[in-house]
Structure 1
Amino acid sequence: MQKRQIGSSDLHISELGLGCMSIGTEENKAKDIITAALDNGVNYLDTADLYSFGENEKMVGKAVQGKRDQVVIGSKVGNDFDKEKGTWEWNPSPQHIKEGLKDSLHRMNLEYIDLYQLHGGTIDDSADEIINTFEDLKQEGLIREYGISSIRPNVIKQYLERSSIVSVMMQYSLLDRRPEELFPLLDEYNVSVLARGPLAKGMLSGSAGEVVQSKGKEGFLEYSYEELKQFTEQWSQLAGTEENAKSFQYILNNRTVASCIFGASTPAQVEENIQAYEKAEPLQEYLYQQMQSISKPLQYKNHRY
């Protein structure tokens, strides 16, 4: 599998990465899903301390024992959670970030995390304190690089201007083209996108029609249910039997993107996505333009200033 560099860092990750949120908390099953990804060329695993209130990180840590040199691990911090109560609150304080990293390293039995990400962020946060904390952790060798996971333009711009982030994780797909507006700015700062939700909840997969019927009744972003049904018909004609592959290709056609982060709850789903990616032909410009013609060039409406 091809790899891409994350921003200006020395981290090179596979064009498909595994989002680990949906691997579950049953150890053998979670390990099988991660092993299927690693065995098929994926080298980036994305988790967060909030996923299953720490249990997800434990699953990741156990699955990569003996394979640490094969993987780039990303995790996230900023949500102070109470596992017993099942609650959490936003807390980007330096103390919580440092304690959160310590806890994550312990859960995964790691000495360092490759890419540590702020799991959210608001314009009212003390950005300088947060940035200084991440820089300190980097200097201490506890993290290799840091980034943010955010879809708020005002927050993203703040970190681009004031920090040395190497990545921004954003929801991005043919049905959610909002990040494209920010690509020129991200390129200017040499910061990469980690694209989560590349199949738009399955509405861009081979089961798009069924998924829209079950999940699209209330619409999706600025698409109404009727618009989703119309899009699905056009998408099926355009992509043929390669819906997953074409979805990944659309995203990866933008060099700002370092990786498509897909989720999977079974090894079979992992292998299906990777096989689709491997069989795909390079995306031709005319097809890329056709894809754009059947979708909306959405832009972020909130958190702009």
Structure 2
Amino acid sequence: MKKRQLGTSDLMVSEVGLGCMSLGTDKEQAESIIDAALHDGINYFDTADLYDFGLNEEFVGAALKKKRKEIILATKAGNRWNEAKDGWTWDASKAYIKEAVKHSLKRLKTDYIDLYQLHGGTIEDNIDETIEAFEDLKKEGLIRYYGISSIRPNVIKQYLEKSSIVSVMMQYSLLDRRPEEWFSLLNDHGVSVIGRGPMAKGLLTDKWETKLNEKGYLSYSEEELRRLLPQVAAESGLTMTETAIQYCLKQQTVGTIVPGASKIEQVQANCRASEARPLSGEEFVALQALTKFDKYEGHRE
């Protein structure tokens, strides 16, 4: 699988990674999905301490331990769960992040994290203190690089101005083009997008008809999707999955996309789609003309 440089870092990540949140709580099943990802050329694995309250990190760490030097391991922090493990609160303080990383390292069975990400963030955080925490962890050798996972424009701007982040994780797909508003600014700062949700909850797969529901998707109504998706499927001559993935990869701002997977077959389909021919310029423009270019309305200032 082709690789791309993540921001200004020396991390070369597979164009398709594995978003680990959907691995589930069966260790054997989770490890089989990870093994399939490795087999098909995925080297970027993205988890978080919040996923199944640390169990996800444990599964990922165990499955990747023998391949540690060959893979790029990413996790996240900032959501502080309670002792009962039935809820959590937001904590972006320096003290908490520096404590959280120790627990993640233990669960992941490693002594360093390639990409450590703030799992959210608000403009009310003490952002300077949060950045200081990540910079300390870099100096201590516990993390190689850091980024944020956020859709809030005001938060993203602050980190671009003040920090040395190499990536911003955002939900991004042909049906959620909101991040495109910020691609030029991210390019100017040498920061990559990590695109989560590229399949739009299955709507951008060949099984899209089974994924429709009365709630629609974001600003799309069910009826709009019923009209739109056949047009998307017909536009490029590729499968729907190939179209979805190749649309995201057409953007050089995108360092990697991280579809989740709860089955081996889903991993294999995503990896095959990454090897499909790229969209032509005409196809890309036509797909953009079919779909909405919405903007994030909140958290702008």
For normalisation by structure 1, the TM-score amounts to 0.97
Query: Paired residue for 2:177?
Result: 177
Task: Output one character per residue of 1:232-286: Cα deviation in whole Å (capped at 9) or x when no partner.
Answer: 12122224551111111111111000001011111121112112222x1121000
- Distance of 1:111 and 1:237 partners within structure 2: 48
Please report how far the alpha carbon of residue 85 of structure 1 lies from its aligned counterpart in structure 2 after TM superposition. 3.9
Query: Paired residue for 2:192?
Result: 192
Bigger mean CA offset, 265-274 vs 161-170:
265-274
SS at the partner of 1:176? coil
1:20 aligns with 2:20: yes
SS at the partner of 1:64? helix
Partner residue of 1:284 out of 262, 266, 280: 280
Q: How does 1:103-182 map to 2 (within 5 A)?
A: 103-182=103-182
CA change 1:85–1:44 in 2 (3 A) is: closer
Bigger mean CA offset, 81-90 vs 198-207:
81-90
Query: Paired residue for 1:51?
Result: 51
Task: Output one character per residue of 1:118-146: Cα deviation in whole Å (capped at 9) or x when no partner.
Answer: 00000000000000110000000000000
SS at the partner of 2:62? helix
Ranges in structure 1 where 5+ consecutive residues have no aligned partner: none
Amino-acid identity (%): 53
Q: Superposition RMSD on alpha carbons, in Å?
A: 1.0
CA change 1:17–1:85 in 2 (3 A) is: closer
SS at the partner of 1:181? helix
- One-letter amino acid matched to 1:282: P
1:230 aligns with 2:227: yes
Q: Which ranges of 4 or more aligned residues in structure 1 deviate by more than 4 Å?
A: none
Bigger mean CA offset, 288-297 vs 228-237:
228-237
SS at the partner of 1:73? strand
For normalisation by structure 2, the TM-score amounts to 0.98
Query: Paired residue for 2:259?
Result: 262
SS at the partner of 2:129? helix
Please report how far the alpha carbon of residue 195 of structure 1 lies from its aligned counterpart in structure 2 after TM superposition. 0.2
Q: Contact 1:46/1:73 (CA < 8 Å) preserved in 2?
A: yes
Q: Contact 2:246/2:273 (CA < 8 Å) preserved in 1?
A: no
Query: Paired residue for 2:100?
Result: 100
- Distance of 2:180 and 2:233 partners within structure 1: 23
Ranges in structure 2 where 5+ consecutive residues have no aligned partner: none
Aligned residues: 301
